[in-house]
Chains A and B, each alone.
Chain A
């Protein structure tokens, strides 16, 4: 069953703040095997001009995807999550996520289309810090597969 295109443009209220911790960033950097000292050593990060350790470029996905749960689980939209794969992902950064950030995410449905029987849903998360300044935009396309298709 195709998703209802009238949901295109629907926005969801900003999420409660996500507090970014140094140890969470360290855990993520270790998990991806990335030894860049900007992720774990505050002095190294400061030498690059940052306030504290920064997070790797793909770290914000975890925060944005949690926020996208509002869409994925919206009973009115009716997405069948058991058939969903991640089709594509894009980040547009104003600055890196840093330890100490308190980030909120405002989610919007950018597009809904049907391609070869698959539902293709594009969700944009605007991630802002506690002063309201833009940090990163995370745009993800989720594909609810009818049968076989592309995906992660």
Chain B
């Protein structure tokens, strides 16, 4: 059931989602993405370079955020543009619980060619972790 451009209004909220992230998540993501920077899995190293703890890959946070859009639209190929700014790291403590990335999104603009601009908001621990986070999606 594809989302229809004509039925979408500016301000329409997409279903918000929460994404947990633990040390195990980061190890798995490091392997899958090929980004083995130790700041994402080695606490001693992270502290030595001045970070508060091991931090999530920015690209992991970016990957989670767009899931709010791709789950809404169904076909991930509908995403024609996607950009974010990494404004703040997501520390992931080694307590078995980790961190949570909260993502909400809304239709910000209706563009031509049945496209819409979606503005995303990603926070963790009450802090905004992505800035200028937006996607352009072509709807049915």
Decide whether A and B assemble into one complex: yes
Q: Which residues of A pack against B, CB within 8 Å?
A: 24, 27-28, 30-34, 36, 38-39, 48-50, 54, 56-58, 61-62, 65-66, 85-93, 95-96, 139, 148, 150-152
User: Is B97's beta carbon under 8 Å from chain A?
Assistant: no
Which single member of B25, B34, B82, B87 contacts A90 (CB below 8 Å)? B82
With contacts A56-B63, A152-B86 known, is A36 near B70, CB below 8 A? yes
Is B76 a contact partner of A96 (Cβ separation < 8 A)?
A: yes
What are 11 A-B residue pairs whose CB atoms fall within 8 Å in the complex? A27-B31, A30-B32, A32-B60, A32-B67, A34-B70, A57-B70, A58-B82, A66-B34, A89-B84, A150-B86, A152-B59
Question: What 1/0 flags go to B26-63 for Cβ under 8 Å of A?
Answer: 00110111110000000000000010000111111111
Contacts of B50 in A (CB 8 A): 148
Contacts of B109 in A (CB 8 A): none
User: Is B121's beta carbon under 8 Å from chain A?
Assistant: no
Q: Which residues of B pack against A, CB within 8 Å?
A: 19, 25, 28-29, 31-35, 50, 55-64, 66-67, 70-71, 74-77, 79-89, 132
Contacts of A31 in B (CB 8 A): 25, 28-29, 31-33
**Distance to closest chain A CB from B1 (angstroms):** 13
Which single member of B32, B56, B82 contacts A28 (CB below 8 Å)? B32
Is A92 a contact partner of B80 (Cβ separation < 8 A)?
A: yes
Which single member of B31, B55, B63, B75 contacts A48 (CB below 8 Å)? B75
Is A93 a contact partner of B81 (Cβ separation < 8 A)?
A: yes
Contacts of A86 in B (CB 8 A): 58-59, 86
A36 and B70 alpha carbons, distance in the complex (Å): 8
Is A33 a contact partner of B19 (Cβ separation < 8 A)?
A: yes
Is B28 a contact partner of A30 (Cβ separation < 8 A)?
A: yes
Rank and list the top 9 A-B pairs by shortest CB-CB distance, nearest first: A152-B58, A90-B83, A31-B32, A152-B86, A88-B85, A58-B63, A32-B63, A96-B77, A28-B32
Contacts of A58 in B (CB 8 A): 59, 62-63, 66, 82
**Distance to closest chain A CB from B7 (angstroms):** 20
A90 and B89 alpha carbons, distance in the complex (Å): 18
Contacts of A27 in B (CB 8 A): 31-32
